[in-house]
Amino acid sequence: MKRRDTGGSALNRARKLGFSFDGRAFEGVEGDTLASSLLANGVRLVGRSFKYHRPRGVMTAGSEEPNALLEVLRDGAWHPNIRATMQELHQGLDARAQNCWPSVRRDVMAVNDWLAPFLGAGFYYKTFMWPRAFWEGLYEPVIRRAAGLGRLPQSHQYDPHEKAFAFCELLVIGSGPAGLMAALVAAKAGADVILCEEDRQMGGRFLSDAGQIDGMPDGAWAAGVLAELAELPNVRLMPRTSVFGAYDGGVYGAIERVALHQAAPGRTPRECYWRITAKRAIMATGALERPIAHPDNDRPGVMMLGAVASYWQRFAVDPGRVVVFGNNDHALATAKALAADGMDIRAYIDPREITADAPFKTYQGEVIGTRGRHGLHAVTLRHKGREMRLEADTLALSGGWNPSLHLACHMNGRPVWDETIASFVPRERMVPGMQAVGAAAGIFSTHGALESGARAAMQALDALGLSATPPDLPQAEDTPYAITPLWQVQAQGRAWLDFANDVTTKDVAQAVREGFASVEHMKRYTTQGMAPDQGKSSNIGALAVLADATGGTIPGTGTTTFRPPFVPVSIAALGAGGYGPGFAPQRFTTSHAQTRKMGAPMIEAGLWYRPSYFPQATDRDWRCACNREALYVRHAVGICDVSTLGKIDVQGPDAARFLDFVYTNTMSSLKPGRVRYGLMLREDGHVMDDGTCARLSDQHFLITTTTAAAGEVIRHLDFVQQAYCADWQLRLISVTETWAQFAIAGPLADALLGHLLGDVPDLPFMGCVPVMVGGVGARLFRISFSGERGYELAVPARYGADLYRHLVALAEGFGGGAYGMEALNVLRIEKGFITHAEIDGRVTAFDLGLQGMVSAKKDCIGRAASQRPGLTGPARLQLVGLRPVDPQSEITAGAHLYPCDKPAKAAYGQGHVKSVCYSPTLESWLGLALLENGRARHGETLRLDDGLRGLRTPVEICNPVFFDPNGGRMRD
Amino acid sequence: MRLPCPCCGWRDLREFTYKGAADALHRPALDDPSGWDDHLHNRTNPAGETRDLWYHDPCGTWVCITRDTVSHAVISGVPLEGAR
Amino acid sequence: MIRLKETSAGAKLRLPPLTGCTLRMLPQMRITSIAPYSGQADALRARLGGFPAPGEVLKVQGIDLVWAGGDLAFAFGDDLPDGLGAHCALSDQSDGWCGFVLQGAGAEALLARRLPFDLRNMASPGSARSVLDHLPVLVLRRASDRFEIWVWRSMVQSFVQQIRT
């Protein structure tokens, strides 16, 4: 193989590009793919096969390539399984062979090939069954090391990728004859068209065949159409873009190789993952040439005929002495055209009778073997009962063409068998709104492709409500396609079906012998079609061999399921931008900057970030800070940002009536200026959320939700209103973001407020009142989540940062300060106040001891179901408090509770721990737990058992309100 | 997948939150335990046309979607008022 | 006595340079949500001089009225007529939202890549609610090459992070 002196429509020979393969320096030119440049440099051996480590060379010129999977150095890491046929060459490209050691020429694991008789399909399943104990320690690690194609980079990869949306009226997939014609007709009629092409250049097979259209070379005709399309504002041309999946509702997934061909892409995304929504689509994806299963058909130098033609025309690769093995008219025509163009074709072999004249020898027969250790140098054929050997550098196979119908099958449609072309073809409407045209529909002549493309475009325009007159079709070749199927050559030796996964015809026959005779079983038993190429070159051949072995027909055997993606899609593209801060939106409170300045580690609460605790230099550990902050609140005054709680404005003449319906308790009896604790149930009777409800004025309420449930609650309230009371006069809207709200808690809270407001309003417990703070209108609530006398002060968010600074400074002046989530948790556990640690979606109001809050005087969401048998009673897990018998003995959330004399088995489990803390006030560990019939068991001792952390300790069951059970501290 | 919002037109699935079958639109009377069992737990799971409820989060509209579980066709989307 | 100072959510925000368009942050302005009560839409429309249908942006009596979801409008600016409260719920949303202007020949193309709805159909002026990489957004098209994107105050950092990448 070498570069021809002239030709190469894809090449810009003026620009030389240096690259390396396996450490050796080579030169290619601009326009080359890695595959074409390797071939032009005479490199035929590029890798080793998966199982037998057989030498492998480039076989195709497209994304279906099963063999030439290389590692490419990109952004500092070796990326595996890069198809050399799809990787465009750039200056400095560094590639190496994979699946071989120490080198691709001397690969130690090639010993597997000698062991092949023992390594057939199912080898692993049968061999490594016993001794059983060897599996984990020996077999599995060894197999794991030997298995796989390539090796992922072992470091995080941060090279930029992008995700994007696009919308169009008509998506045309593929830019060959049919796709170009369809795009042209639709675009001229004014439709919004996106034309996607997998290759760098548009034109499909026009780029590599030598036909004529309207008396001009078809490549020139295609260039003219493309120039016309590029001028139209309603057309978007997307080269280097593979449409890989068809999904519900006209959504298509596509992957664009944006910068993989650039030597120094900088911040340009390497790839872009497109989600294209199209009203209509035309699938002009062409067809894939299929190999023929003959002995030793996997040697470097055995290639697809279409690929040989493509490398010749586009990349000026001279394949040397060529033998062509075909079974169809297209193969013979191609061989003639290539010979006429100067290719050294030595022979054409076809099992059919060949009558036509040709400028090379023709043999009726079959290839029955090949020679050449690291690359082909001879072909053995059987002709008229004799064997003969032909010297050759390249064996070009053409076993016919399979329409690329994968996308059409992505919504579970099954294709039909077309006997005349010996291939499966798509049926109509397998994907709603998408139509197959040209070779993808089994129409192989150029005229047929142009005609079907134009017709599909007219139909799409009609569906889009656009009118157009049918175009005059240009003159083009319209020869019929004739083929006699040849699935396997009957001869001695292994004949490959799946080159990537090393599956031979014998493996398929063996699968059948062992009972794996259905196509889905055969696939999994032999692993045929499960390599990165997903069997693009082998699926149809394998199921034909399977049909032969079972005595069935091909359509009766059927295909396996085609699933997205059609081509490999990098996880980096699918997850573009989704690492670090891009993983999920981050929500920051107005106090965030100040909190960070104070050194607080942040903890996620939903999407919000909240301070865990505020460390000081003398702290031994986080618990020192937590204890200090909890004691601020118990003895002085603490400040905490509580803005993350959901806040919902409910207004209107029917607002009170609505709240009575969504809360278990009655809100309509609340007086303006007062606040009430409220409980919401789901319709199935379980607790959804809790919070406060403040009546700001007669028709204006402000309700709060927990931080985590804010989204769920507003969806729920919107549902209740829109589903059941759409004619009630009320509206609700979230004001969470509008207000910054701070808890001021502790015995000195009033003193602090006095400094801040000048004059503390005389507010009863659970009262609220508008106040002025620092010249700003604010809301003051006397509520407490700590059990201390306390307030929450809300100001418009723009003042939040400044108010927080003032509050913390004032609190510090009183011997208190800021407290974080850890201290907040201690304070609420001491008081037995619940959070979503307890409201875990399975608890009822009864379980929490809040059954008295479910009003019997009115209906509410969840009331009917809450009375269902099984949701109340002694069998329920009920909220209790826990104290370890030794107060200093640590207890853990997630631990289970057992009778002291029973083992830690599920049958004896009586409950589990939801939250724990160490209480600096009570100088003991405390826990909240759910326990069978718990309320009746205060005083009992049980064993807390945390098998995961190896912790066992006796605990006493008690009232969940550990501190100030009468509530005097917060109320009086 | 794309769904029709009565306010915003056809939108991507990512903008919606699923609730469940449209049975939820009809609350039984308080004193009808078997009605509640059906309402909460019993679903027909049809092969073919079905109606279910989706929330279009960006605009806050609940939508009753009629779709076909066999063909995956999404047939219509209406506000709850029109769906009862 | 203290005087509380305002802090802009964009105080320490570094806006990224973009290709083909510019991004800047709008000053905070008064935003009032207007949600008509059931059966009051006509009365409210008469009182206001109009009410935006889904996707609409209106200018009535000098008020910038923007559709903001369901049957909900946002009024940008200070001068709402008195006496609306009988017909609708009014809620101050000023501090909850931060606005950014994306302007330039490349603005539409940039946004079209990021938003999961068909921007080609969006009127000018026009309004849409959607998500931008999981961030809830209110998108206003003020002119063919000028968009306003309103995001929750707590999410401005994430917005800037997302629009950059």
User: At which residue do the structure tokens 């009371």 appear?
Assistant: A725
Question: What class does CATH assign to C22-28+96-164?
Answer: alpha beta
pLDDT digits (tens, 9 = 90+) for A27-46: 999 999 999 999 999 999 99
Chains with at least 3 CB pairs less than 8 angstroms from chain A: B, C
Q: Enumerate domains of chain B plus CATH numbers.
A: 2-83 (3.30.2270.10)
Residue C149: band (very low, low, confident or very high) from pLDDT cuts 50, 70, 90:
very high
User: At which residue do the structure tokens 């570069």 appear?
Assistant: A3
CA–CA distance, A805 with A747 (Å, rounded to integer) = 20
Supply the pLDDT for residue A145.
62
Query: To the nearest whole angstrom, how far is the Cα of B37 from the nearest Cα of chain C?
Result: 32
Supply the pLDDT for residue C121.
87
Nearest residue of chain A to residue C94 (CA atoms): A738
Across the interface, whether the CB atoms of A801 and C116 are under 8 A apart is answered no
Could you tell me the two tokens for C92? 């101050």
Tell me the helix, strand and coil percentages in chain C, rounded to 5. 20, 35, 40
Residues of chain B with Cβ-Cβ distance to C129 below 8 Å are: 8, 58-59
Supply the pLDDT for residue A621.
96
Across the interface, whether the CB atoms of B33 and A718 are under 8 A apart is answered no
Across the interface, whether the CB atoms of C54 and B8 are under 8 A apart is answered yes
Cβ under 8 Å to C: B residues 5-44: 7-9, 11-12, 14-15
Across the interface, whether the CB atoms of B58 and C130 are under 8 A apart is answered yes
Supply the pLDDT for residue C78.
85
Across the interface, whether the CB atoms of B59 and C70 are under 8 A apart is answered yes
Across the interface, whether the CB atoms of B2 and A864 are under 8 A apart is answered no
Burial (CB count <10 Å: 0-12, 13-18, 19+), residue A669: exposed
Nearest residue of chain A to residue C10 (CA atoms): A798
Residues of chain A with Cβ-Cβ distance to B42 below 8 Å are: none
Chain centroid offset of residue A390 CA:
50
C-beta of residue A414 within 8 angstroms of C-beta of residue A422: no
User: At A430, phi and psi to the nearest 5?
Assistant: -70, -40
pLDDT digits (tens, 9 = 90+) for A458-488: 999 999 999 999 999 999 999 989 999 999 9
> Has residue A129 got a pLDDT over 80?
no
DSSP A515: T
Could you tell me the two tokens for A714? 């507003």
Nearest residue of chain B to residue C130 (CA atoms): B58
Across the interface, whether the CB atoms of B25 and A411 are under 8 A apart is answered no
Q: Domain A874-972 sits in which CATH superfamily?
A: Aminomethyltransferase beta-barrel domains (2.40.30.110)
Q: Domain A587-643+738-828 sits in which CATH superfamily?
A: Probable tRNA modification gtpase trme; domain 1 (3.30.1360.120)
Could you tell me the two tokens for A687? 């607790």
Q: Reduce the DSSP state of residue A390 to 3 states and report it.
A: strand
Supply the pLDDT for residue A147.
61
Across the interface, whether the CB atoms of B59 and C129 are under 8 A apart is answered yes
Nearest residue of chain B to residue A860 (CA atoms): B30
Q: Which of A300, A273, A270, A311 is nearest to A90 (CA)?
A: A270
Q: Which of A371, A391, A392, A389 is nearest to A380 (CA)?
A: A389
Q: Which of A439, A140, A496 is nearest to A298 (CA)?
A: A496
Supply the pLDDT for residue A601.
98
Q: Which of A703, A698, A695, A678 is nearest to A769 (CA)?
A: A695
C-beta of residue A311 within 8 angstroms of C-beta of residue A36: yes
> Has residue A132 got a pLDDT over 80?
no
Residue A111: band (very low, low, confident or very high) from pLDDT cuts 50, 70, 90:
confident
Which of A47-61, A359-373, A384-398, A768-782 is least confident? Answer: A47-61
Residues of chain A with Cβ-Cβ distance to C40 below 8 Å are: 729
B43 touches chain A (CB under 8 A): no
Residues of chain B with Cβ-Cβ distance to A578 below 8 Å are: none
> Has residue A389 got a pLDDT over 80?
yes
Across the interface, whether the CB atoms of C133 and A585 are under 8 A apart is answered yes
Task: Average the pLDDT over A411-415 and give the result.
Answer: 91
Chains with at least 3 CB pairs less than 8 angstroms from chain C: A, B
Q: Which of C102, C150, C100, C144 is nearest to C125 (CA)?
A: C144
Query: To the nearest whole angstrom, how far is the Cα of A450 from the nearest Cα of chain C?
Result: 30
Query: To the nearest whole angstrom, how far is the Cα of A431 from the nearest Cα of chain B?
Result: 10
Measure CB to CB from residue B58 to each of C55, C121, C136 and give the nearest one: C136
CATH number, domain A162-287+403-464:
3.50.50.60
Measure CB to CB from residue A249 to each of B27, B61, B74 and give the nearest one: B74
Nearest residue of chain B to residue A714 (CA atoms): B60
Residues of chain A with Cβ-Cβ distance to C28 below 8 Å are: 798
Chain centroid offset of residue B76 CA:
11
Measure CB to CB from residue A797 to each of C3, C89, C96 and give the nearest one: C96
Query: To the nearest whole angstrom, how far is the Cα of A531 from the nearest Cα of chain C?
Result: 33
Question: What class does CATH assign to A646-734?
Answer: alpha beta
Q: Which residues contact A455 (CB under 8 A, 6 or more apart)?
A: A437
Residues of chain A with Cβ-Cβ distance to B32 below 8 Å are: 864
pLDDT digits (tens, 9 = 90+) for A172-202: 999 999 999 999 999 999 999 999 999 999 9
pLDDT digits (tens, 9 = 90+) for A732-745: 999 999 999 999 99
Q: Reduce the DSSP state of residue A195 to 3 states and report it.
A: strand
Across the interface, whether the CB atoms of C70 and B61 are under 8 A apart is answered yes
B47 touches chain A (CB under 8 A): no
C-beta of residue A958 within 8 angstroms of C-beta of residue A883: yes
Supply the pLDDT for residue A117.
73
pLDDT digits (tens, 9 = 90+) for A905-950: 999 999 999 999 999 999 999 999 999 999 999 999 999 999 999 9
pLDDT digits (tens, 9 = 90+) for A433-457: 999 999 999 999 999 999 999 999 9
User: At A299, phi and psi to the nearest 5?
Assistant: -75, 145
Residues of chain A with Cβ-Cβ distance to B28 below 8 Å are: 864
Supply the pLDDT for residue A156.
86
- Give the predicted TM-score (pTM) of the model: 0.94
Q: Which of A422, A403, A449, A819 is nearest to A615 (CA)?
A: A819
| Angle of the A329-340 helix axis to the A305-315 helix axis, nearest 10 | 30
CA–CA distance, C105 with C11 (Å, rounded to integer) = 27
Across the interface, whether the CB atoms of A251 and B1 are under 8 A apart is answered yes
> Has residue C165 got a pLDDT over 90?
no
CA–CA distance, A922 with A961 (Å, rounded to integer) = 12
CA–CA distance, A934 with A877 (Å, rounded to integer) = 7
pLDDT digits (tens, 9 = 90+) for C9-51: 988 899 999 989 999 999 999 999 999 999 999 999 999 999 9
User: What DSSP letter does each residue of A547-562 carry, written as one string?
Assistant: HHHHT--HHHH-----
Give the CA diameter of chain C. 54
Q: Which helix (H) or strand (E) holds A223?
A: helix A218-231
Residues of chain A with Cβ-Cβ distance to C35 below 8 Å are: 731, 733
Architecture field, domain A292-398 = 3-Layer(bba) Sandwich (3.50)
Fold for domain A2-114?
Answer: Ubiquitin-like (UB roll) (3.10.20)
Across the interface, whether the CB atoms of C114 and A165 are under 8 A apart is answered yes
Residues of chain C with Cβ-Cβ distance to B57 below 8 Å are: 131, 136
User: At A776, phi and psi to the nearest 5?
Assistant: -120, 140
Residues of chain C with Cβ-Cβ distance to A160 below 8 Å are: 165
Q: Which of A819, A849, A820, A845 is nearest to A832 (CA)?
A: A849
CA–CA distance, A702 with C16 (Å, rounded to integer) = 38
Across the interface, whether the CB atoms of C131 and B58 are under 8 A apart is answered yes
Q: Is the peptide bond before A131 cis (omega within 30 degrees of 0)?
A: yes
Across the interface, whether the CB atoms of A724 and B1 are under 8 A apart is answered no
Residue A140: band (very low, low, confident or very high) from pLDDT cuts 50, 70, 90:
low
Q: Domain A489-567 sits in which CATH superfamily?
A: BFD-like [2Fe-2S]-binding domain (1.10.10.1100)
Query: To the nearest whole angstrom, how far is the Cα of C54 from the nearest Cα of chain B?
Result: 6
pLDDT digits (tens, 9 = 90+) for C51-102: 999 999 999 988 999 999 999 999 999 889 989 999 999 999 999 999 999 9
pLDDT digits (tens, 9 = 90+) for A829-876: 999 999 999 999 999 999 999 999 999 999 999 999 999 999 999 999
Could you tell me the two tokens for A467? 């009118």
Could you tell me the two tokens for A476? 């083009």
Domain ranges of chain A: 2-114, 162-287+403-464, 292-398, 489-567, 587-643+738-828, 646-734, 874-972
CATH topology agreement for domains A292-398 and A874-972: no
Tell me the average pLDDT of chain A.
95
Nearest residue of chain C to residue A577 (CA atoms): C165
Q: Which of A690, A794, A673, A655 is nearest to A738 (CA)?
A: A794
> How many Cβ atoms from other residues are within 10 Å of residue A641's Cβ?
26
